């Protein structure tokens, strides 16, 4: 993607990336985004689950959702996804930082009305969180589909910003007797807890077991 003025990383520009491979890898490793939009002339930011397919982001929610009601009007919006990888502890308070991977997207929201695309979008969102879970569950019925609105945001402009590595202190501070380093942060799935109302004999499904393969 060509870095337009809107998405070009200006602060610490060497941390900016504009290629699809980098942007999509970060998007595919996460499933919660923050969506910024204007509602009744004041700014709002709302977190929501998303799914990506090709050059589009899909989100969904209740038909009466204020966010989706605004987005279906076709406004240009901004989306951010951030993954925190570590706390960077420097010798000075000024140089403390975070290791992170983030993506900012600009695009024009579109209401999805085609039933085939709507169903496919719901599967994409489901797979973004837990791959293959869609094939294990009861699919949405007609009433549930009518209560659900789906928005598509084509990824027309996007940039990634990545910070990694050790702290960067002022040269004189390296002689100070102060510990410095990185505290890594990793996303980890813990053992699943079965619903207390689960019928006996129902095993943990493959989609959940796959989370623990590595």
Do the domain assignments include residue 20? yes
* Structure tokens belonging to residue 174: 């390296």
Burial (0-12, 13-18, 19+ Cβ within 10 Å), 26: buried
Q: Tell me the three state secondary structure of residue 20.
A: helix
Give me the pLDDT at residue 3, please. Answer: 67
Residues in contact with 65: Cβ distance below 8 Å, sequence separation at least 6, in sequence order: 149
pTM for this entry? 0.89
Q: Which domain holds residue 118?
A: 13-85+98-165
Do the domain assignments include residue 54? yes
Do the domain assignments include residue 19? yes
What is the residue-level pLDDT of the chain in tens, covering all 214 positions? 666 666 666 676 777 778 899 999 999 999 999 999 888 888 889 999 999 999 999 999 998 888 888 888 887 889 999 999 999 999 999 999 999 999 999 989 999 999 999 999 999 999 999 999 999 999 999 999 999 999 999 998 999 999 999 999 999 999 999 999 999 999 889 999 999 999 999 999 999 998 887 5
Strand extents, DSSP E, the chain:
16-17, 32-39, 42-49, 51-53, 56-62, 76-89, 97-108, 110-111, 148-154, 157-163, 181-184
Query: Total domain count for the chain?
Result: 1
Do the domain assignments include residue 79? yes
Do the domain assignments include residue 131? yes
Q: Are strands 76-89 and 110-111 parallel, antiparallel or unpaired?
A: unpaired
Give me the pLDDT at residue 117, please. Answer: 95
CATH number, position 158: 2.30.110.10
Look up tokens 């969102």; give the residue: 125
d(CA 166, CA 181): 6
Give me the pLDDT at residue 14, please. Answer: 76
CB-based contact 93:23 (threshold 8 Å): no
């Amino acid at each position: 993607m060509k870095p337009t003025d809107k998405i070009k990383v200006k602060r610490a520009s060497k941390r900016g990336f504009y290629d699809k491979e980098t942007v999509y890898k970060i998007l595919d490793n996460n499933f919660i985004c923050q969506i910024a939009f204007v509602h009744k002339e004041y700014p709002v930011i709302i977190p929501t689950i998303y799914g990506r397919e090709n050059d589009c982001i899909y989100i969904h929610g209740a038909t009466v959702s204020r966010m989706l009601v605004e987005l279906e009007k076709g406004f240009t919006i901004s989306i951010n996804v951030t993954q925190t990888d570590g706390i960077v502890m420097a010798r000075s308070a000024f140089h403390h930082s975070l290791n992170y991977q983030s993506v900012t997207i600009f695009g024009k929201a579109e209401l999805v009305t085609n039933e085939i695309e709507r169903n496919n979008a719901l599967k994409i969102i489901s797979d973004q969180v837990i791959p293959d879970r869609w094939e294990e569950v009861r699919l949405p019925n007609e009433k549930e589909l009518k209560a659900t609105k789906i928005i598509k945001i084509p990824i027309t402009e996007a940039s990634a910003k990545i910070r990694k590595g050790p702290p960067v202190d002022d040269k004189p501070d390296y002689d100070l007797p102060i510990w410095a380093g990185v505290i890594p942060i990793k996303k980890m799935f813990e053992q699943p807890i079965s619903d207390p109302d689960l019928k006996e004999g129902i095993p943990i499904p493959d989609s959940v077991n796959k989370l623990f393969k590595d």
